[in-house]
Amino acid sequence: MAKQVGFIGLGRMGEPMALRLVAAGYELVVYDVRPESVAALTAKGARAAASPAAVASAVDTVLLSLPTPPIVREVAANVSGGSKVKTVIDLSTTGATAAREIAAALAAKGITAVDSPVSGGVAGAVAGTLAVMVAGPRALCAELEPMLAVFGKVFFIGERPGMGQTMKLANNLLSATAMAATAEAVVFGVKSGLDPAVMCDVINAGSGRNTASMDKVPKQVITRKFAQGFATGLMYKDVRLCLEEAEAAGAPMPVSTAVRAMWARANDELGGDSDMTAIVQLLERAAGVVVKGK
């Protein structure tokens, strides 16, 4: 019989990851606040639970994929009331401070926390090509690796709680910076009469190449789709968390402070539910141009 695991949080990232586990032969017990999300998994053979605690009373390993640190804290506290759970794997982005606090609270209940944030977006979650950043007891992480490898490439970051979160925030800070800076460069080019598609071709053949120039601007901005699948509010949250953690660690981030201000403005003016690639619209409005294909 396939190993049973619990999965809580079936959103844009959680649903495709959970579906990959089902396809890999794992028997899932799932929970989400949205019944339609649960239904998508039960239609594939997963079993629904009435609450996070019910999931944790049915299996010994529970995975979380949740949007914000407060929600992760709340759900982890609920999970800790389960009668069977021994390991909680957090795939969310919470920051190292929250991860350490959650790990300590779970440890008090005899539960081991593994922080295992992922990067690669919805497309990566669907394809199983995510970067999976794992931090926790080495032997336990090695035992969990075959399951986590269903999501993508597994990297062991370290044994201390929160180390995976630190890695994830550093990664997402670079992604956020690339998107914001590339948006500025392309709007500048269009305002000066350049073709944005040609700009991306040149940048991608040269030293300015980055994730935004290779993927987000050509596929989402120039086409005006704005459907990358990662919300502005979540990107702003990640950047804000990263700078908070950096300040606590005593690491200066002057460039990133400006990046945070731009994402804060995008969150305020475009709305947290807007697609992250829509940040270019702030610059388009100010410049009086639109970045689109000819």
In this structure, what CATH number is given to the domain that contains residue 75? 3.40.50.720
Q: What is the pLDDT of residues 129-172, one digit of tens each?
A: 999 999 999 999 999 999 999 999 999 999 999 999 999 999 99
**Phi and psi angles of residue 293, each rounded to the nearest 5 degrees, phi first:** -70, 155
Q: How far apart are CA 25 and CA 43, in angstroms?
A: 15
Regarding whether 279 and 189 lie in a shared domain, the answer is yes
Residue at 173 is within a domain? yes
pLDDT band at 45 (very low <50, low <70, confident <90, very high): very high
CA 3 vs CA 6, 21, 60, 144, 151: distances in Å: 10, 10, 10, 12, 16
Regarding whether 146 and 63 lie in a shared domain, the answer is yes
pLDDT band at 1 (very low <50, low <70, confident <90, very high): very low
Q: Is 242 left (phi over 0), alpha (psi -120 to 50) or beta?
A: alpha
Range 27-40 average pLDDT: 96
Q: Please state whether beta strands 130-135 and 152-158 pair in parallel, antiparallel, or not at all (unpaired).
A: parallel
Residue at 213 is within a domain? yes
**Phi and psi angles of residue 195, each rounded to the nearest 5 degrees, phi first:** -85, 125
Q: Domain ends where: 92, 126, 160?
A: 160
Number of domains in the chain: 2
Residues designated catalytic: 168
- Mean residue pLDDT of the chain comes to 96
Range of the domain at 263: 166-287
Q: What is the pLDDT of residues 98-131, one digit of tens each?
A: 999 999 999 999 999 999 999 998 999 999 999 9
H-assigned helices in 24-153: 35-42, 52-56, 69-79, 96-107, 121-127, 138-148
- The answer to whether 110 and 86 have CB atoms below 8 angstroms apart is yes
Q: What is the pLDDT of residues 82-95, one digit of tens each?
A: 999 999 999 999 99
> With pLDDT > 70 as the criterion, what percentage of the chain qualifies?
99
Q: Domain ends where: 160, 189, 208?
A: 160
- Token pair belonging to 96: 């190292």
Burial-class residue 252 by CB neighbours within 10 Å (0-12, 13-18, 19+). exposed
Res 75 pLDDT > 70:
yes
Q: How far apart are CA 215 and CA 102, in angstroms?
A: 35
Range 238-252 average pLDDT: 95
Question: What per-residue string of b and e applies to 73-89 under the rule 16 or more CB within 10 Å gives b?
Answer: bebbebbbebeebebbb
Q: What is the pLDDT of residues 175-227, one digit of tens each?
A: 999 999 999 999 999 999 999 999 999 999 999 999 999 999 999 999 999 99
Q: Domain ends where: 112, 130, 160?
A: 160
CA 243 vs CA 53, 68, 73, 96, 230: distances in Å: 33, 16, 20, 12, 20
Report pLDDT for 293.
83
